[in-house]
Chains A and B, each alone.
Chain A
Amino acid sequence: MNLLEHLGKRLLRDGGIATPQGTLAVTPQECAVAAAQLGPRVVLKCQVPVGRRGKSGGIRFASSPAQARAEAGQLLGSIVGGFKVEDLLVEERIDIARELYAAVLNDPVSKGPLLVFSTDGGMDIEEVNKTSPEKVLRAMVDIRHGLDLAAAADLLSGTDLTDRQRGSVAEALVRLYDIYRAVDAELVEVNPLVLTAQGAVVALDAKISLDPGATPRHKDSIRRLVAHLPDTATELVRQARELGLALIELDGSVGVLANGAGLTMSTLDAVSYYGGKPANFLEIGGDAYTKATPALRLVLANPRVRSLVVNFCGAFARTDVMAEGVVDAIEELRPSIPIFFCIHGTGEEEAVRLVRERLQIKPFDLMDDAVKAAVAAAGRCPTEVA
């Protein structure tokens, strides 16, 4: 879950990291008022959950309230990185002496937190990482002990920062790490973290990604932040979410219901491999295996679906329970599209019997054959031309 910049900055400030004076504005007039208070030189930053906003025109500068109003008029309502701009963060301009890069993230290789720092921060950090990887410093942190000031200072010892700068940057790194731990972040990234002409350390940006698995233990503070996440979900995706299912709508015509992320992805791959286009990703693995009935309702609610593959390979997820859910849904909805089954694993015999007796459908032995049949069937009833 990626937090919008202004929410990420709130977490940074709560954790003792300075950010520019700023305010959130939703109209050009509010931007002009904010510029009069904070400016006259201000920066307007669109609040959309994507990176590289600077490069895609989502960040503008203004030197007067009138200019702020004009720039805001262009930005608000425009599309940046696929998202409609509805909020602008208006901030005072900072006198930048130097742009740094700092991040703390979960590292799958060391299986612990990784601190990443560079004195070459700014928009081209990815390029720096490619061309001069030695300029990007890394330090593994033992999560049981945390990051102390000495370790942070040690990482900075090879840089050309002055002693005084090193001290204040090390302090900021420790605070960043503590924020990362406190909110159960997957990533806390500040680019740029700037040194001002006066020697202060200020976060000009904030990219914080939270671990959805950890939200149960952050009942109040974090949940309030998450509630601010922009919701671009369609009605079906919303319904799926309420059921605890992750539905991804795709633009094809072969509906897919399978259990487990790996099997579902492979079923989609097979649909593509045999020349079809999948209509959705929806899996009912793990604890969700009891939700076959509502899951199938979601798949069939898509008017583009021309055929359906039900592919179950039961391990933890019992195929007899899933098949019963599917059969119930089919008997209830009586879909006119052809349905093709492949069922193996835990509960297989009972599941196959249910499908044969109640639907008079014989499951395929091989996934490939079920998928091929579904692709062929979808091709026979082409989707309507929009």
Chain B
Amino acid sequence: MLVTGAESVLVQGLTGRQGSFWGVRMAESGTRVVAGSSPGRGGRDVDGVPVYNTVAEAALQHQIDATVMFVPAMLARDAALEAIAAGVKKIVLLAEHVPYHDTMVIMAEAKDAGTQVLGPNTAGLVVPDVASLGIMPAFAKNIFRPGRVGVVSRSGSLGTLICLNLVSAGYGQSAFIGIGGDPILGTTTADAVRELDQHEGTDAIVLVGEIGGGMEEEAADYIAGMSKPVIAFIAGRSAPPETRMGHAGAIVTGDKGSGASKVKALTTAGATVVDVPSQIGEALRAAAASG
């Protein structure tokens, strides 16, 4: 999922503690936050942004292109279905611990409606100086600045570190796409890489993966046919097998999903895999020199 900054954005759960805090941060980062929704809180406003009881009510008064959901995990399914039914085409689903069956119901509905979903369990999307949809520190100048490197990351905290390293090395970002840490995601690593590959403002891609699952291997299949350079970092390579490292998706069973399997797939596909995040700048320079 990418944004141009022209989108009108709804914040579901805008009156909550996190919703109100991040709603203001998102607006400061350039996002056109036009409305909020919170059941039973219609008629209020948060920092001048009007709040409605439902997404449908908000959609009657405003064009809604995207929604950022600050909704508890157990309510995420209904909130997402509400947004899809109201015709919203981009959903950023931040909540962690959304029941997987609920995620699958959301994905089935979203697919039929042609709605893009980022998450669940994501930190969101940032286009520096243009828009931020989520909970990334888009306002921090040492972490985000406009540029031509697209970043795809499962993790928000590690994504932040990677973006910091990029800026320190003299690079800026065309976009940061946080895809989320769950095993079942609306936007996969391969989906995000494909979108950045087709994005004119992106010259190179930094892929931040993790052990567990098969998404990095799947992305490698696509990367093999790409001409833009890809630099990858895989977190958890030192983790003991069969151990779940915080993210529900980060578990290694047998050989599948191991760091070694991912590194091999990405290297074979032509990507440069770095051992620590601080090597990314150097790897980008080397890739530009050889390309």
Among all A-B residue pairs, the 10 with the closest Cβ atoms: A262-B155, A260-B157, A261-B246, A262-B158, A263-B157, A214-B99, A316-B135, A272-B238, A213-B97, A265-B236
The answer, yes or no, to whether A78 is at the interface (CB within 8 Å) is no
Indicate if the CB atoms of B276 and A344 lie closer than 8 Å.
no
The answer, yes or no, to whether A151 is at the interface (CB within 8 Å) is no
Indicate if the CB atoms of A315 and B159 lie closer than 8 Å.
yes
| B contact residues around A154 at 8 Å (CB) | none
The answer, yes or no, to whether B205 is at the interface (CB within 8 Å) is no
- A residues contacting B by CB (< 8 A) are 106-109, 111-113, 142-144, 181, 184, 186, 211-214, 216-217, 246, 248, 250, 258-266, 268-273, 278, 281, 283, 285-287, 313-317, 344-346, 348, 365-368
* Bound Cα distance A213, B96 (Å): 9
Indicate if the CB atoms of B213 and A108 lie closer than 8 Å.
yes
| A contact residues around B184 at 8 Å (CB) | 106-108, 111
Shortest Cβ distance from residue A208 to the other chain B in the assembled complex, whole angstroms = 14
Indicate if the CB atoms of B100 and A265 lie closer than 8 Å.
no
Shortest Cβ distance from residue B246 to the other chain A in the assembled complex, whole angstroms = 3
* Bound Cα distance A237, B122 (Å): 26
Shortest Cβ distance from residue A383 to the other chain B in the assembled complex, whole angstroms = 18
* Cβ proximity bits B66-96 to A, threshold 8 Å, 1 near / 0 not: 0000000110000000000000000000101
Identify which of A111, A217, A285 contacts B246 (C-beta below 8 A): A285
Indicate if the CB atoms of A315 and B98 lie closer than 8 Å.
no
| A contact residues around B157 at 8 Å (CB) | 258-264, 285, 313-315, 317, 345
Indicate if the CB atoms of B158 and A313 lie closer than 8 Å.
yes
For window 142-175 of B, CB contacts with A under 8 Å fall at 142-143, 153-161, 164, 168
The answer, yes or no, to whether B241 is at the interface (CB within 8 Å) is no
Shortest Cβ distance from residue B126 to the other chain A in the assembled complex, whole angstroms = 10
Identify which of B123, B237, B240 contacts A269 (C-beta below 8 A): B237
Shortest Cβ distance from residue B78 to the other chain A in the assembled complex, whole angstroms = 12
| A contact residues around B197 at 8 Å (CB) | none
| B contact residues around A144 at 8 Å (CB) | 105, 108-109
| A contact residues around B276 at 8 Å (CB) | 266, 269-270, 273, 367-368
Q: A143-B101, A262-B208, A270-B276 are in contact. Are A314 and B160 (CB under 8 A)?
A: yes
| A contact residues around B213 at 8 Å (CB) | 108
| A contact residues around B143 at 8 Å (CB) | 344-345
For window 245-288 of B, CB contacts with A under 8 Å fall at 245-248, 250, 275-278
Indicate if the CB atoms of A112 and B245 lie closer than 8 Å.
no
7 contacts between A and B (CB under 8 A): A107-B184, A143-B104, A250-B240, A262-B247, A263-B160, A285-B156, A316-B94
Indicate if the CB atoms of B107 and A346 lie closer than 8 Å.
no
* Bound Cα distance A344, B96 (Å): 23
Indicate if the CB atoms of B100 and A214 lie closer than 8 Å.
yes
| B contact residues around A317 at 8 Å (CB) | 157
* Bound Cα distance A143, B106 (Å): 10
The answer, yes or no, to whether B214 is at the interface (CB within 8 Å) is yes
Give the one of A258, A270, A273, A346 with max B CB within 10 A: A346
Shortest Cβ distance from residue B244 to the other chain A in the assembled complex, whole angstroms = 8
Q: A112-B104, A345-B140 are in contact. Are A368 and B278 (CB under 8 A)?
A: yes
- B residues contacting A by CB (< 8 A) are 18, 22, 73-74, 94, 96-105, 107-109, 111, 123, 135-137, 140, 142-143, 153-161, 164, 168, 181, 183-186, 188, 208, 210-211, 213-215, 218, 233, 235-240, 243-248, 250, 275-278
Indicate if the CB atoms of B235 and A266 lie closer than 8 Å.
yes
Closest to B164 in A: A344
* Bound Cα distance A143, B233 (Å): 34
| B contact residues around A271 at 8 Å (CB) | 238
Indicate if the CB atoms of A184 and B236 lie closer than 8 Å.
no
Indicate if the CB atoms of B243 and A315 lie closer than 8 Å.
no
Closest to A349 in B: B140
* Bound Cα distance A216, B96 (Å): 14
* Bound Cα distance A270, B218 (Å): 26
Closest to B22 in A: A316
Q: A186-B100, A248-B245 are in contact. Are A268 and B159 (CB under 8 A)?
A: no
* Bound Cα distance A191, B123 (Å): 39
Shortest Cβ distance from residue A151 to the other chain B in the assembled complex, whole angstroms = 15
| A contact residues around B155 at 8 Å (CB) | 260-263
Indicate if the CB atoms of B246 and A268 lie closer than 8 Å.
no
Indicate if the CB atoms of B99 and A281 lie closer than 8 Å.
no
* Bound Cα distance A322, B247 (Å): 20
Shortest Cβ distance from residue B251 to the other chain A in the assembled complex, whole angstroms = 11
Indicate if the CB atoms of A246 and B235 lie closer than 8 Å.
no
* Bound Cα distance A9, B248 (Å): 25
Q: A112-B104, A213-B100 are in contact. Are A315 and B156 (CB under 8 A)?
A: yes
Indicate if the CB atoms of A262 and B277 lie closer than 8 Å.
no
Identify which of A113, A262, A313, A344 contacts B210 (C-beta below 8 A): A262
| A contact residues around B243 at 8 Å (CB) | 248, 281
Closest to A211 in B: B100
Identify which of B123, B142, B214, B218 contacts A315 (C-beta below 8 A): B123
Indicate if the CB atoms of B246 and A264 lie closer than 8 Å.
yes
Indicate if the CB atoms of B160 and A281 lie closer than 8 Å.
no
Give the one of A108, A142, A258, A316 with max B CB within 10 A: A316
Indicate if the CB atoms of B100 and A106 lie closer than 8 Å.
yes
Known: A106-B104, A112-B104, A262-B158. 20 other contacts (CB 8 A): A106-B184, A112-B107, A181-B101, A211-B100, A213-B73, A213-B97, A214-B99, A250-B240, A260-B157, A261-B155, A261-B250, A262-B208, A263-B157, A266-B158, A268-B236, A281-B245, A287-B96, A313-B157, A345-B143, A368-B278
Shortest Cβ distance from residue B40 to the other chain A in the assembled complex, whole angstroms = 21
Indicate if the CB atoms of A213 and B99 lie closer than 8 Å.
yes
| A contact residues around B240 at 8 Å (CB) | 250
* Bound Cα distance A112, B183 (Å): 11
